[in-house]
Amino acid sequence: MRGPGDLQGSYIAEQVASFLPMEADTVRAINFHTYDSLQLFYGVAAGDPLEYTLTSIWDKLATSSSFDQRTEMIQEFNRNNVWKKRGISRMHCVYDVTLRPTPGKVSILSDGSIVVEVGGIEIGQGLWTKVKQMVAFGLSAIKCDGAEDFLDKVRVVQADTLSLIQGGITGGSTTSESSCEAVRLSCEALVERLIPLKERLLMQTDSIRWEKLIQQAYLEAVNLSANSFFIPDSASTNYLNYGAAVTEVEVDLLTGQTTILRSDILYDCGQSLNPAVDLGQIEGAFVQGIGFFMLEEYTTNSDGLVDTEGTWTYKIPTIDTIPKQFNVEILNSGHNPKRVLSSKASGEPPLLLAASVHCATKAAIREARKQLHSWGCLEGSHSTFQLGVPATMPIVKELCGLDIVESYLQCKIGSN
């Protein structure tokens, strides 16, 4: 229900790095797109060269998260601790999104309040918040007294298939910006109708309040309801989102418990329509990804039906499973006339970055198995193993090799 298929595909690609005889982070860096290869693979969605911000995100995050220094500190920690091991992983994402045709309707009531309808559904992603802001921004072009209170005058109501017959779907991370552009177009039409009336009234007075302007518009039968249908052009229908994350975890070898010590995320939101909403979306997507990669295991019965009916058996992320230190930064990548007020999507792409938690856990397990191999308690390679999804406590504990105490004791007695 969030980034379906993209999350799994991204994770599969990351697993290639872990099977090669070199650092996974080095493999990722080597395989970064150049702008030419990006354009070859994604076509028009690649945009202009200045839009390709991933390499700068990658380098900036390495500095802000002290990635190299922490990697050395983790190596030292692992050398000095027998029963706990740490791992760190840096991950990036490239996510292609599509803008869809979206309707919008803005109506101004006789008291000056504003009612808005859009095709998108508010499901907690802040769509209505962004739409309200866009309406206040669009109508402020009239420049009446009292315009600073526009946001309080705007009310978004849920549309239906009769009032907006081409509402489309809510999904793909772009419904908010598409809905915002639709209402902006409606506001442009309303401003165009109201400006001549305002200029005529200003010939009789020095200033005019919004409410007075709307009352006069009603008396003169000005149409104060405007419908629009935003249709993205071919050059801006698709675009790419970029982000990166660094995650550090600590694994208890005796219990298999994984503690996420710190996560740093840097994500390109263009010029965010609402930084608070976008930060919430980035954090929420990442935490939901933690559930996918580390916790949310569903079991089935003999008939193949899911038999987990609640949080007693199906574990979702809680306050004790999110990163102990969680640093999220939005990159302002500047003006882009092809985007809706230069903004970019934030709903689904950050979900992919949660793979950094799983990969960091795998790095910690690799250190545990390396230690076990040095004791002579592990046959075969310590570096090649498959960590499933989700990486629950029993799975982590088993891969660390200390799930059976008797085997460990026999190994130590034999080595002595």
Is a pLDDT exceeding 90 seen at residue 336? no
Known catalytic residues are 348
Given a contact cutoff of 8 angstroms between Cβ atoms, the answer to whether 361 and 323 are in contact is no
Nearest to 88 by CA among 98, 74, 78, 103: 74
Given a contact cutoff of 8 angstroms between Cβ atoms, the answer to whether 283 and 263 are in contact is no
The pLDDT score that the predictor gives to residue 17 is: 67
Q: In what order do the strands lie in the sheet with 225-230?
A: 154-156, 114-118, 102-108, 225-230
The pLDDT score that the predictor gives to residue 312 is: 82
The pLDDT score that the predictor gives to residue 377 is: 76
Other C-beta atoms closer than 10 Å to the C-beta of 137 total 17
Q: How far apart are CA 81 and CA 68, in angstroms?
A: 20
Is a pLDDT exceeding 90 seen at residue 43? yes
Give the DSSP H or E segment for 250: strand 238-252
Angle (CA) 28-331-233 rounded to 5° is 90
Domains defined along the chain, listed by start: 6-97+238-396 (3.30.365.10), 102-230 (3.30.365.10)
Query: How does residue 18 score in pLDDT terms, banded at 50, 70 and 90?
Result: low
Given a contact cutoff of 8 angstroms between Cβ atoms, the answer to whether 359 and 24 are in contact is yes
Q: What is the pLDDT of residues 82-116, one digit of tens each?
A: 999 999 999 999 999 999 999 999 999 999 999 99
Mean residue pLDDT of the chain comes to 91
Q: What percent of the chain has pLDDT over 90?
A: 68
Residue pointed to by tokens 């809905």: 179
Is a pLDDT exceeding 90 seen at residue 386? no
Q: What is the pLDDT of residues 155-193, one digit of tens each?
A: 999 988 888 988 888 999 999 999 999 999 999 999 999
Q: Give the residues across from 243 on adjacent strands.
A: 93, 267
Q: What is the pLDDT of residues 198-244, one digit of tens each?
A: 999 998 888 899 999 999 999 999 999 999 999 999 888 999 999 99
Is a pLDDT exceeding 80 seen at residue 300? yes
Q: How far apart are CA 284 and CA 3, in angstroms?
A: 13
Query: How does residue 416 score in pLDDT terms, banded at 50, 70 and 90?
Result: low
Token pair, residue 209, equals 């309040």
Name every residue whose Cβ is closer than 8 Å to that of residue 72 and which is 6 or more positions away in sequence. none
Given a contact cutoff of 8 angstroms between Cβ atoms, the answer to whether 251 and 315 are in contact is no
Q: How far apart are CA 286 and CA 3, in angstroms?
A: 12
Is a pLDDT exceeding 80 seen at residue 372? yes
More confident residue, 335 or 251: 251
Is a pLDDT exceeding 90 seen at residue 306? no
